[in-house]
Amino acid sequence: MKPLKLLALIIIPLGIILAAVPADKTKRFRLSADELLQEAGAGAQFISPDVIADMLVQKDPSLQLIDVRTPEEFEAFSLPGAINIPLSNLLSDEFTDILNQDARTNVFYSNGSVTANEAWMLTRQMGYKNNFVLEGGLNYWFGNILSAQAPSQTSPNEEFAKYDFRKSASAALGGGGVVAAEGAATAPKAAKPAVASKAKKKPAGGC
């Protein structure tokens, strides 16, 4: 992707978000547009769904999933142990201790990667470093982790190993479900996993 196009994809959504952010918040921002472009273009903020699936199966206590969709979408379906911080509420002082810490690995997710990546951009601008993005979001999660397709007989062994892992992860995490394009996630209510007590505290609003 051309640098100018990438810059537009990063800066335009960020600008829209910042328009609704109080001035005292934006004064804390630490990166220039060029610096943010460089970091976002490197893609180091993304964590593979396979890595997250493994952490969930292993019940890794260092993982904190953060759903940045609306409370309504969060109620319909959320990943195990996730908490809900809608994008529009992300800079609230209420969530500073969750977002600005070094004890746990925060992973933002939405239906695709767009909204979660905007959440990462905001927190990165604030100087918070321990925040990441679930690559592909719930769309990829349902299509590839919970509904893994068997590779062709001519596929390399690595693909079969990946498929076996995804089948096991799907069985352990509930399996099934369908998610539409960014902004339109749906899933059977029966597929909704148990959510930790923290998730009961759902701020109003959404993106």
- Whether the predicted pLDDT of 73 surpasses 90: yes
Q: What is the mean pLDDT of residues 115-130?
A: 89
Quote the crossing angle between the two packed helices 3-18 and 114-125, to the nearest 10°. Answer: 80
Confidence at 28, pLDDT banded by 50, 70, 90: low
- Whether the predicted pLDDT of 8 surpasses 70: no
Q: How far apart are CA 33 and CA 117, in angstroms?
A: 15
Q: What is the reported pLDDT for 125?
A: 84
What percentage of the chain exceeds 70 in pLDDT?
63
pTM, two decimal places: 0.72
Q: What is the reported pLDDT for 111?
A: 95
Cα 34–Cα 30–Cα 6 angle in degrees, nearest 5: 30
Q: What is the reported pLDDT for 50?
A: 95
Q: What is the reported pLDDT for 10?
A: 52
H helix count then E strand count, the chain: 9, 5
Residue with tokens 């809900």: 84
Q: How far, CA to CA in Å, does 114 sit from each of 68, 79, 111? A: 11, 18, 8
Q: What is the reported pLDDT for 42?
A: 64
Domains, the chain, in order of start with CATH, read 45-207 (3.40.250.10)
Q: What is the mean pLDDT of residues 6-23?
A: 53
Q: What is the reported pLDDT for 147?
A: 87
pLDDT tens digits for range 147-198: 888 889 899 999 999 999 999 999 888 764 334 434 444 443 333 333 333 3
pLDDT tens digits for range 87-109: 999 989 999 999 999 999 999 99
Q: Which long-range contacts (CB under 8 A, 24 or more apart) does 82-86 make?
A: 82/109, 82/195, 82/196, 82/199, 83/196, 83/198, 83/199, 83/201, 84/199, 84/202, 84/203, 85/119, 85/203, 86/203, 86/205, 86/206, 86/207
Residue with tokens 């952010």: 21
Confidence at 55, pLDDT banded by 50, 70, 90: very high
